[in-house]
Amino acid sequence: MASDGSRSRGSRSAASWLRAAVAPVVVLALSTGYLGADLIEGEPAGAAAAVSGPAAAGIVALQALVLVFRRRAPLPVFALVVALDAVLLGSSAGELGTGALATMIATFALTRGGELRIRYIVVACGAVTTLVVSAMAMAVAGVYPPLAIAAVAVLRPVLQYAVPAALAEFFLARERLVRALRDRAELAERERLRDVEREIAGVRTAMARELHDIAAHHLSGIIVGAQAASALVASDPDRTREMLRTVQRDARTTLADLRRTVGLLRSDGDCDGDAGTPGLPAPVPSLDRVASLVAEAAGRGRLVTLDVSGETVALGPLAETAGYRMVQESLANAARHAPGTATRVNIVYSPESVRITVHNDAPAVAPAGRRDGGYGIAGMRERADLVGARLSTGALVDGSWRNELEIPRDTDRSTE
């Protein structure tokens, strides 16, 4: 692994040096070819003091050498290349343009890698230098008309400085756009991962709440039934057998509900559904099924009554689940904390709201460790907040306990 990383870094370094050497090699090759052709044809007729071929070749070679360091030190390289180009222009009456390519490359490198505040000032100084030297050299030669001098003096800075700077800005804009798009994509990916994490956390919380409600309700009934059966085993065998059948039924119901709940997490349709139909999820809890909860509790020998008043209306699924789970948890808590006491379940339908109250009489002896918190109460509050309902729980002055959930009907319609 380490050797692979070293080879990768070495290949990247070699590629970087190769790219940095391309421009100097091209400058040297083109300039040498130009100078060779110029030497074969002879000096220009109008040149007042044309530079010799070997001297010009040496200056261009020095430019090519300096360009190797254009990425590390763009400003010094630009200044030196422009100065060498000015020497070539001044010694050839403004005709020799062999240093123009190096100047263009240095301008491009400076515009892309130099500091934003000073790079255009430096480029402008280089353009002025080339313009002045070129115009003065051509004027001193005395063989060019003023219009030609002006045209060449203006065109040369445009080609050597303005065009490379514009190209550099174009590439810089593309790089900024690519970085912005990459940053946006990374931000979107981070947001997506956060959403997934929040969704997973929400699913876990919901599943934990459902599992707690199922286990707390049915297991509490199983424990109470088993205790009653053990107390009656000697005095009333028939009643004991009935209680044991109830315990078995509750155990099977608990297992089926747990399978259905876990099956909601599966995507292969293998979970057991309602009424033994494969692939169907468990039915949504509703207030209509509260009577079944009360009947199951009464079948275990508990004193539980149900009273429903007002015109019955169907609420949204979230509100129906909140009401059903509140009664289920309250009955489980009553069996766990105050066994043997009477429990009354009241459901009142009114035009404004549905009020569900579970009242448990005070036990003869207060159970140790009784408290008003825990996962069950937390689950009630979460469901109440979800549908905009108001939940109140707590002990009354006479020692009894009351849980009350009031669900606004206008709020619940938005959750359907």
Residue 357, pLDDT > 90, answer: yes
Place of tokens 């110029």: 38
The pLDDT score that the predictor gives to residue 272 is 42
Pick 199 or 413 by higher pLDDT: 199
The pLDDT score that the predictor gives to residue 349 is 92
The pLDDT score that the predictor gives to residue 213 is 66
Neighbouring-strand partners of residue 355: 348, 406
286-416 CATH choice from 3.40.640.10, 3.40.50.2300, 3.30.465.10, 3.30.565.10: 3.30.565.10
pLDDT digits (tens, 9 = 90+) for 69-92: 888 888 888 989 888 888 888 777
pLDDT digits (tens, 9 = 90+) for 130-166: 888 888 888 877 777 888 788 877 888 888 888 888 8
pLDDT > 90: percent of the chain? 8
Residue 68, pLDDT > 60, answer: yes
**pTM > 0.85:** no
Q: Label the pairing between strands 342-349 and 303-309.
A: parallel
Domain edges within the chain? 2-144, 286-416
Average pLDDT, the chain: 75
Report DSSP letters for 40-108, one per residue. HH-S-TT-SSPPPHHHHHHHHHHHHHHHTTTTT-HHHHHHHHHHHHHHHHHHTTT---TTHHHHHHHHH
Distance spanning both ends of the chain, measured CA to CA: 58
The pLDDT score that the predictor gives to residue 65 is 83
Place of tokens 């430096």: 122
The Cα-based distances of 295 to 27, 119, 211, 299, 362 in angstroms read 97, 86, 22, 6, 22
E strand or H helix at 303, and its extent? strand 303-309
The pLDDT score that the predictor gives to residue 362 is 74
The Cα-based distances of 50 to 92, 106, 266 in angstroms read 4, 25, 87
Q: Is the dihedral of CA 271, 273, 276, 277 positive or negative?
A: negative
Residue 404, pLDDT > 80, answer: yes
The pLDDT score that the predictor gives to residue 100 is 81
pLDDT digits (tens, 9 = 90+) for 185-240: 888 888 888 887 887 777 667 666 666 666 666 677 777 777 777 777 777 777 77
Contact present, 133 and 91 (Cβ < 8 Å) = no
pLDDT > 70: percent of the chain? 70
What is the arithmetic mean of pLDDT over 344-350? 93
Contact present, 261 and 289 (Cβ < 8 Å) = no
Q: Is the dihedral of CA 141, 144, 149, 152 positive or negative?
A: negative
Which residues, 6 or more positions from 81, have their beta carbon under 8 angstroms from its beta carbon?
63, 66, 67, 99, 102, 103, 105, 106
pLDDT digits (tens, 9 = 90+) for 259-315: 666 655 544 444 444 444 444 445 567 888 899 889 888 888 888 999 999 888 888
The Cα-based distances of 376 to 34, 207, 304, 332, 371 in angstroms read 90, 13, 20, 9, 11
